[in-house]
Structure 1
Amino acid sequence: MRLAVAQIISGADPDLNLDLIREYAARAADARAELVVFPEATMCAFGNDLNAVAEPLDGPWAESVRGISAELGITIVAGMFTPGQGARVRNTLLVTGPGIESAYDKIHLFDAFGFAESDSVDAGVSPVTFEVGGTVFGLATCYDVRFPALFAANARAGAHVNIVCASWGAGVGKADQWDLLVRARAVDSTSFVVACGQADPASVGAPSAGTAPTGIGRSAVVSPLGVALATMGSEPELAVIDIDTADIPHVRAKLPVLANARSF
C-alpha cells in the first residue's frame, strides 16, 4: 500500500493546525496515498494549556478531521487531546477514513528526562489495531516506543505495520535513541514501523517551548528486518512510500521472535 508521513510543526491554535492537516493530507491524496500519518499533538503543541483545547472524539475538531478525510478520500491518523479524569486529558490518536473509525489513548506516559506527562495526562489501558485495504495497523505514541511488549501485542493481534506518532524531546543522545528504538521495534515485532514525529521548531526559526517536547523530526519508515526505507530530516516535510506487507509471513517464518518469545 502507499502511505504518507506528514512531519509537521503544530502550534497552539487547533484551527490553524487543521489547516496543516488539510494541506498535507491533500498533498498525500494527490500522490495517491491511502493513509497519511501526522504526529502526536497535531491538535495542539505541548507547552500549551491542553485542558483548554481537549475535546471528545465527537467534538468539532475531530469532526473537522473527519470532514477532511471524507473530502479527500484518505485515512488520517493524527494526535489530539480528549477529556480525561479531573483536570487531566488523554493523549489520543484519532484514526478516521472511508469506513474506518478508531482511537488510541497513549498507554506509557512520559515521566522521564525531567518531564512529567502524568501530571496532566491520563494513561490509556488497551492496545488498538485497525485495518485499511487489508493491511492491519497497530498504534503507539512517542514514549510507547521504549516498550517492546506493546509492539509485539499489536503484531500478535494481526498488525503488519506499527505506527508511532511522536513529539520527541530534544536532548543529549535523544536523537540517536529515537533512531535506534524505531528500528529495534520493527525487528522486535517483525512488522513495518511508520514513525512520524513533529519537525524541529528550530528548523524554521521558531522559539523554544522550554521543557515541553516539541519535536526533532527524523521521521522514518522501517522494514520488518530493521532496514530504513525512508528517513527525514528536521524540517517540515511530506514523505510518500509504498510498502508491501506480503513478505511479512516469510520474515516471521525466518525470524520467529513472536512465536519463540517466553514470559518470565
Structure 2
Amino acid sequence: MDYSRAREVFEQYLNGYDRKDGKVRLKITHTYGVVAQSTALAKRMRLGEEDTQLAWIIALLHDIGRFEQLRRFDSFLPETMDHAAYGVELLFGEGMIRDFLPEDTWDGIIRTAIAKHSDYRLEGVEDPRTLLHARLIRDADKLDNCRVKLEDPLETFAGGTAEEIGAQKISPKVKAEVMAGKSILSSDRVTLMDFWVSYLAYFYDLNFRESLDIVEERDYVRRIAGRIPCSDPETARSMEEIVGALTAYVHSHGKSK
C-alpha cells in the first residue's frame, strides 16, 4: 500500500476539474482534511501501520464522486446524485481503483467503506475489520465537516448568509428528532436552519469515544451553533435547548461509569 503514489494519482484526476471553482476547492480541502482526521483517530486508537495506511487510502477516495456531481449539477444535494454510489462505480465498476492501488487485497473493505460513508445509518456490515473502517471514515468525515462549518463561506455550502439562516425557523420534526438523540434525514430538512441543525445532530452518529473527545476538546457543538446568529426568538430558544442536549451527550456518551 503506497499512499504517496495514490495521492499523486488523485492529484492527476483533479486536473480534470476546475480547481478555481469554490465548491471544487472546498471538496479538495475536505478530502485532505479527512485524511488528517483519519490520522488523528488512528493514532488515538493505536491502530497498526497497515490499518492506518488503509484509512488514508479510504479517506483520499471517499468523496471522489463529488467532483463529477459538481461538474454536472453544481450541487452537493443528495437528490442530484448519490456521490458515494458513483464513487464506487468509478473505482470498482470502471476499474479506476487499480490506478490508485495495484493490489486487490483490500478492495472489499475500501468498497464497503466508501459505499456506506454517507448513509443515514451504518448497517449491514458484519466483518469486524470492514466495520472498523466503515465507522472510521464516517467519523473522520464528520470531524472535518466541523472545520468546514466553521471556516468555509456559508454561501458555498449552506445556501445563505449567517443572518439569512438565523432568521429562519427550525421545523418541528427536525427539533423533535435532534432532541430525541437522532440524526436528521435529508428529506426532513425544509429550512436553512434545519440544515444547520442537521450538521450538529450528526454528532449522535459518531462511532468512537475518541471522536467525541475531539468534538469536546475543540468545543465544536457551541462553536458551530454560534456561527449562526439566531434573530428569530423561537429559533434562538430552540438552539439553546439543542446545544445543551448535544453538549451533554458529547461529554458523557461512551465514557465508563
Q: TM-score higher than 0.5 here?
A: no
Higher relative helix content: 2
What is the TM-score normalised by the length of structure 2? 0.29
What is the TM-score normalised by the length of structure 1? 0.29
Higher relative strand content: 1
Greater C-alpha Rg: 2
